[in-house]
Structure 1
Amino acid sequence: MFNYIVIGSGFAGSVIAERIANVLNEKVLIIEKRNHIGGNCYDYKNKDGIIIHKYGPHLFHTNYKEVFDYLSNFTDWNIYHHRVLAFIDGKKVPIPFNLNSLYLTFPESLAKRIEEKLLKKYPYNSKVPILDLKKENDKDLRFLADYIYQKVFLNYTVKQWGLKPEDIDPEVTARVPVFIGKDDRYFSDKYQAIPTEGYTKIFERMLNHSNIKLMLNTDFKEVISIDFESKKIYFFGQEFKGKLIFTGMIDELFNFKYGYLPYRSLDLRFETVEKEWFQEVATVNYPNDYDFTRITEFKHIHPASTEKTTILKEYSKQYIPNKDIPYYPVFTKENQKLYNRYKEEAEKFENIILVGRLAEYRYYDMDDVIKRALEVFEEKVR
């Protein structure tokens, strides 16, 4: 019946399925382990009328016009600029740490001296990775770097990843740089917006096609088996000669034959608070205090007319297979080597295509995943 089977209904799988249905006019089956579509981007309205992101906050931002235009086929947008504060030594300062943060943190004379040295060394509105700033020889810049490292990065990174910043791939630590400017927005991308009706509506429209069939509440291993010797794939016991687009954990696809790839998971605790607002901005990070990493208040993201508010406290933890949700691949050289073994295994199959954060063991943002899925469709599916 199908020439294409997609495992997973997050953005990676849904975008490719939509393209197969609309561009190729072919039938495609999506197999989804959960009881809903949308993967970790799934959201819903709670009883107070507030749109809640079930698996943690998802903020859309991109510089890729083609990605924004593509998603605009399935949603209208509310312009939204995300702002984050960090609770440091009893004060809340903008993150990424910028020139406004500098003056909120230090005496004016010291802040002014450091600002002059920063602007002499770096272009205005530039971004400097914290590990680069730590290499400075100037005592004031080194003082600033050490302060930011200790107060903003170190403990947050340890809580989030279970590793020190030096032990994790620079791709991760560079995601939250020191900003040499006064823009308090968390992102600087050209397109920053939130889907007017939430993310789930995007997926519903994306997958609303007669060529797309869905199997929810189904672990792919229940209906698909792989013969690693003959390199054949079986669907309900029959050989499947079409393309299998896989967006799940690559180590699970190959029955963990080389061992488990490490991931970080989250313990998400939602609370309804009996007041109109809980905090000043959508997200406040707690690098040094408490066990949670951050608190998000969803009314800042999706405005709602209610006297109550809903917040989310996030506790990062080690992923336990078959128990937790794998949110983030853990980027170290050792883990990359293990992933490469699985990738080489997948390349032996002519009809397996890997795409997405878990399948490619990459820290993709939403726009990166969508862009990647569109590219993979053109390069390997079409």
Structure 2
Amino acid sequence: MYDFLVVGAGFAGSVLAERLADAGKKVLIVDKRNHIGGNAYDFYNEHGILVHKYGPHIFHTNSEKVFHYLSRFTEWRQYEHRVLASVDGQLLPMPINATTINKFFGVNLNHDQVESFLAQRRNSFDRITNSQEVILAKVGTELYEKFFRGYTKKQWDLYPEQLDASVCARIPIRTNADDRYFTDIYQVMPAQGYTKMFERMLNHPNISVLLQTDYKKIQEEVRFNELIYTGPIDEYFDYVRGPLPYRSLRFDFETHEVSTYQPVATINYPNSYDFTRVTEFKYLTGQTHARTTIVKEFPTANGDPYYPIPTPENAEAYERYKAEIGKYDAVHFAGRLGTYRYYNMDQVVAQSLTLFNNLMSR
């Protein structure tokens, strides 16, 4: 007899399982895959290089609470992520900063001049309604066309004007020369990898783990009081309100006989090739190895759901499913897929900690 059946062993499910188990609850956590960790799962490939199976996962947060919670299960390696964009034969810092602007436009502006330079190029809108307008209002047409339009179309199969403003609002524009991709207080990577962190998180006498298992095939056989579901919410309800759109990814891994393949961890390709970006894992992990492994990411409409597609129409479709939730007192939804939100890892952890507190306060 379990107090909770948790579906999905990624960040949302694992955090909730650990918290509930620590509170004395008996928990069964199940996952369709043959491993824990969800999309953050990492492993050593045949060359002995630590790679992320489902694309690069870079941890960053401003939440002291989230950072200290995860610190119970891992030591950290300090890591500041850097990205370049391949544009017109140049590799330029991304997010756009003063260096990007100087090199792209062939000017030599100091930091104080960058703001006025951009102000002359910005488009003005009475009200921002989509991601195209977000970028045009920040940097104007030239930078929008070269850095954002093509990349967004590849990533989402939608142009920025078709996407909710929140998508591109996530991307900062800097007038200084800070070339870090993130500016969060905590920018770290698990010292021994994500999988080791999840193993420690789920190593609790009150937690049972069942892999390669579809929960629907066992829910009639397993006795439990409440269900926590972190998979796609439309799948849980058997698509009664229609399927929700998701974006997937295909990954091509390559190992090269060199110690370093590219000058930074990630290079974006907004206007060329079918892939969006190339990431070299050794930058992320700090591993020393004579060879190096990279991954190319190809967005696709088919495959495992990775990203809810943030459009106003899809938000309305999710609301129809959200209305179904109220009919179930003992079913709780969490995570990026369970709540149809484009969350970062730390946001998923924070959401799960909040849900745990709500469950305990009843």
TM over 0.5: yes
CA distance in 2: counterparts of 1:376 and 1:197, whole angstroms? 28
Q: 1:316 to 1:133 in 2, by over 3 A?
A: closer
Describe the SS at the equivalent of 2:289: coil
Task: Find the counterpart in structure 1 of residue 20 from structure 2.
Answer: 20
Task: Find the counterpart in structure 2 of residue 5 from structure 1.
Answer: 5
CA distance in 2: counterparts of 1:63 and 1:118, whole angstroms? 30
Structure 1 residue 14, shift from structure 2 partner: 0.4
Describe the SS at the equivalent of 2:337: coil
Task: Find the counterpart in structure 2 of residue 131 from structure 1.
Answer: 133
Describe the SS at the equivalent of 1:102: helix
5 Å-filtered alignment, 1:1-382, equals 1-22=1-22, 24-108=23-107, 115=114, 117-118=116-117, 131-132=133-134, 134-135=136-137, 145-224=140-219, 235-236=220-221, 240=224, 242-319=225-302, 324-382=303-361
Task: Find the counterpart in structure 2 of residue 229 from structure 1.
Answer: none
Which amino acid in the other structure matches residue 371 of structure 1? A
Which amino acid in the other structure matches residue 373 of structure 1? S
1:335-366 deviation digits (Å, cap 9, x = unpaired): 11111111111211010111100000001100
Unaligned runs of 5+ in 2: 121-130
Which amino acid in the other structure matches residue 208 of structure 1? N
Q: Conserved in 1, the CA contact under 8 Å of 2:245 and 2:308?
A: yes
Q: Conserved in 1, the CA contact under 8 Å of 2:230 and 2:336?
A: yes
Structure 1 residue 119, shift from structure 2 partner: 8.0
Q: 1:135 to 1:18 in 2, by over 3 A?
A: closer
Q: Conserved in 1, the CA contact under 8 Å of 2:111 and 2:175?
A: no
Which amino acid in the other structure matches residue 271 of structure 2? N
CA distance in 2: counterparts of 1:292 and 1:133, whole angstroms? 22
Quote the sequence identity (%).
49
Describe the SS at the equivalent of 1:55: coil
Report the aligned-residue RMSD: 2.0
Q: Conserved in 2, the CA contact under 8 Å of 1:295 and 1:314?
A: yes
Q: Conserved in 1, the CA contact under 8 Å of 2:98 and 2:111?
A: no
Structure 1 residue 327, shift from structure 2 partner: 0.4
Structure 1 residue 57, shift from structure 2 partner: 0.3
Structure 1 residue 107, shift from structure 2 partner: 1.8
Q: 1:112 to 1:177 in 2, by over 3 A?
A: closer
Describe the SS at the equivalent of 1:358: helix
Q: Conserved in 2, the CA contact under 8 Å of 1:103 and 1:111?
A: no
Structure 1 residue 130, shift from structure 2 partner: 6.8
CA distance in 1: counterparts of 2:203 and 2:190, whole angstroms? 18
1:16-57 deviation digits (Å, cap 9, x = unpaired): 1000111x2111000111000000000011233321000000
Structure 1 residue 114, shift from structure 2 partner: 6.1
Q: Conserved in 1, the CA contact under 8 Å of 2:135 and 2:168?
A: no
Which amino acid in the other structure matches residue 326 of structure 2? E
Which amino acid in the other structure matches residue 166 of structure 1? E
Q: 1:42 to 1:237 in 2, by over 3 A?
A: closer
CA distance in 2: counterparts of 1:88 and 1:2, whole angstroms? 55
1:85-141 deviation digits (Å, cap 9, x = unpaired): 0000000000001111111212225888962515889xxxxxxx87345248xxxxx
* Higher mean displacement: 243-252 or 300-309: 300-309
Task: Find the counterpart in structure 2 of residue 232 from structure 1.
Answer: none
Q: Conserved in 2, the CA contact under 8 Å of 1:48 and 1:306?
A: no
What's the TM-score, normalizing by structure 1?
A: 0.88
Task: Find the counterpart in structure 1 of residue 123 from structure 2.
Answer: none
Q: Conserved in 2, the CA contact under 8 Å of 1:251 and 1:260?
A: yes
Size of the alignment, in residue pairs? 352
Q: Conserved in 2, the CA contact under 8 Å of 1:130 and 1:177?
A: no
Which amino acid in the other structure matches residue 308 of structure 2? P
CA distance in 2: counterparts of 1:112 and 1:61, whole angstroms? 26
